[in-house]
Structure 1
Amino acid sequence: MTVPHLETPRLRLRGLDAADTEALVRVFADPEMSRFLRADLSDPAQCRASLARRVAYTGPDGTGHWVIERDGAVIGLAHLRPSAELSGDLVEIGYFLDRAHGGQGLATEAASALMHHGFAALGLPAVWALIHESNVASQNLVRRLGFTDVGCGEHYGGPHRVCVALPGVTGRWHHVELRVPDLARARTSVGWLLAELGWREHQRWHDGVSWKLGAGYLVLEQSPALSAPAHDRRAPGLNHLALYAGSPDRVDALAAAATERGWRPLFADCYRRAGGPDHYAAYLENADGLALELVADSPRITRPG
């Protein structure tokens, strides 16, 4: 399991280690830190037991527990991990900051860094937060971060507001446009494969066609200003498109069907693992030199047992 270091203008977030135990015991010695918790972490024994469980966490890469440091001193603890309270593969955020450093926006800064990591690096579809109904300060914090309150439930031994944040659109792709030498041929080969992957034709005009899946769309256009009769994936510019294609068996089935429709397999001598031992994919090239990579879905984030 890998927990990356995260940097903000004032803070450093790094993976929790057993060596941090005593520093965090001092942070949680303030009874107010446990006011909305099921356990009383001002009790050193309970605090050490809680931290030991966090140190032993073995969840998916990129998730886990972070120590919050300011100027080299430990001032808090945060997590981004699969929720043990919410059903489904939902990832939950949490944060604890020494009250001596409160009122400066540091908790917001740390939580914002974790959210950005979750959305940008992990590709999470949502981040969830469970906030005790009486914890008004934390409710205000998640509201500032763009969370929406979607209800209330009994969690962690008490009534908690259930809040969710979704990724924004800034920086996400809007569309990709590819020039092709023969629109009809491309529509047949690429269109078939996109349809098999769940894409639907979006727009069609004299010189082009587009397909859509989710917010973005893909355009194929035959331009009279083309400078070459075929795409060269080795030239500067686009090398290939890579799309998730389902299970490894589904990747194999699509690759086999594609070859019957004129696609040529690439890297056949190391098929399935050309991208490395942990990467399962098929690489295909059509008659016009456009290359597509069909990637087996990554394992889902699952809740701790």
Structure 2
Amino acid sequence: MNLPVLRTSRLIVRGLERSDTDAVLRVFADPAQSRYFAADFSDPVQCRAMIERRLGYRGPANLGHWAIERDGTVIGLAHLRPSDAMPPGTAELGYFLDPAHGGQGLATEAAAALLRHGFATAGLPAIWALIHESNVASLKLAQRLGFRDVGVEEHYGAPHRVHVALPAVHGHLHHVELWVPDVPRAEATFGWLLTQLGWREYQRWPDGVSWRLGSGYVVAERSPALTAERHDRLRPGLNHLALHVETTQQVDEVAEAAREHGWRPLFADRYPHAGGPDHYAAYLENDDRFEVELVALRHGVTRQG
């Protein structure tokens, strides 16, 4: 399992390997470890089947199943991976620690490392934790990590508290300001495109306009300090804006419609993989030579025709 190694002050959290099987069997040897599960993983047969399922996982990059290691010994198991029970594009966090190592904050330490990884590296918009409503220790752990309890649902054959964690705002992009030669032309191109992707007009003044999505916004302004009438993306400075699009089909649809709104395709001979075989995107340029890149979040929907 090709996953990044996460290091904390006391732990190494690394991709699960087949050689970890005996250690995971020890983690679940106490029947009390399975009291909140539908299966009894103290049974070696059921536990080995669970390990095989995890080893066989094939999903998005940077997500999957990890072993929790301390001083060279595997003391737990964790996962951060998509869940059918949760919205597409998000992930579910789970963690299991050998009871012999409990009460030291190690589960919190490992889970916090996975949260940071999920937001900072995997770019997840939300991470979920489904916790059996009787599992008081895990409920308290989720609270310490900043998860929000959003209710109770039936999962894994029993009522579970549904918790969600969202990325912190600290350090994230606040806004991008584009100095444009002509604000109406920017509205006709950027305004149309951003609106198609869910942005809404935010502010307007005599020399500019902005559009907002979430906590960030994009400004198009003709500043009185402007020193040129044409943007050159090949000079030092802004080369292009890259924006998420939910599916590959939507990339196709928006890119095609953009032709009628002042955008022309770039790298058309290599569409949709001009950025590489695993990168589905459209590259567009308007008359003022500004470039945008529309990147598909999910590849589950393929191009039509």
Q: TM-score scaled to structure 2, two decimals?
A: 0.87
- Shift, 1:260, TM fit: 4.4
Distance of 1:188 and 1:201 partners within structure 2:
13
- Shift, 1:75, TM fit: 0.9
Does 2:54 correspond to 1:54? yes
* Residue identity opposite 2:223 in structure 1: S
* Residue identity opposite 1:125 in structure 2: P
Tell whether the 8 Å contact from 2:118 to 2:127 is kept in structure 1 after alignment: yes
Distance of 1:157 and 1:262 partners within structure 2:
53
Partner of residue 152, structure 1? 152
Tell whether the 8 Å contact from 1:2 to 1:63 is kept in structure 2 after alignment: no
Task: For residue 168 of structure 1, give the secondary structure of its aligned residue in structure 2.
Answer: coil
Task: For residue 117 of structure 1, give the secondary structure of its aligned residue in structure 2.
Answer: helix
Q: Percent identity?
A: 65
Distance of 1:3 and 1:286 partners within structure 2:
39
CA deviation profile, 1:36-94 (whole Å, cap 9, x unmatched):
3333323333322221222222233322211001122111101112335x365463211
Change in CA separation of 1:244 and 1:9 when aligned onto 2, cut-off 3 Å:
same
* Residue identity opposite 1:97 in structure 2: L
Partner of residue 194, structure 1? 194
Partner of residue 44, structure 1? 44
Tell whether the 8 Å contact from 2:240 to 2:292 is kept in structure 1 after alignment: yes
Distance of 1:149 and 1:186 partners within structure 2:
42
- Shift, 1:137, TM fit: 1.3
Change in CA separation of 1:59 and 1:288 when aligned onto 2, cut-off 3 Å:
closer
* Residue identity opposite 1:144 in structure 2: R
Change in CA separation of 1:259 and 1:120 when aligned onto 2, cut-off 3 Å:
same
- Shift, 1:253, TM fit: 4.5
Task: For residue 14 of structure 2, give the secondary structure of its aligned residue in structure 1.
Answer: strand
Task: For residue 228 of structure 1, give the secondary structure of its aligned residue in structure 2.
Answer: coil
Change in CA separation of 1:266 and 1:138 when aligned onto 2, cut-off 3 Å:
same
Contiguous gaps of at least 5 residues in structure 1: none
CA deviation profile, 1:17-43 (whole Å, cap 9, x unmatched):
111101221222233323333333233
Query: Alpha carbon RMSD of aligned pairs, Å?
Result: 2.5
- Shift, 1:257, TM fit: 4.2
CA deviation profile, 1:219-278 (whole Å, cap 9, x unmatched):
011112123322111112210011234554544444444444443432233232211122
Change in CA separation of 1:284 and 1:57 when aligned onto 2, cut-off 3 Å:
closer
Does 2:173 correspond to 1:170? no
Q: In terms of mean alpha carbon deviation, does 157-166 or 3-12 score higher?
A: 157-166
Q: TM-score scaled to structure 1, two decimals?
A: 0.87
Tell whether the 8 Å contact from 1:181 to 1:230 is kept in structure 2 after alignment: yes
- Shift, 1:293, TM fit: 1.6
1:226-265 paired onto structure 2 within 5 Å: 226-245=226-245, 247-265=247-265
Contiguous gaps of at least 5 residues in structure 2: none
Task: For residue 230 of structure 1, give the secondary structure of its aligned residue in structure 2.
Answer: coil
Number of residues of Structure 1 aligned to a counterpart in Structure 2: 300
Partner of residue 184, structure 1? 184
Change in CA separation of 1:253 and 1:87 when aligned onto 2, cut-off 3 Å:
closer
Partner of residue 97, structure 1? 97
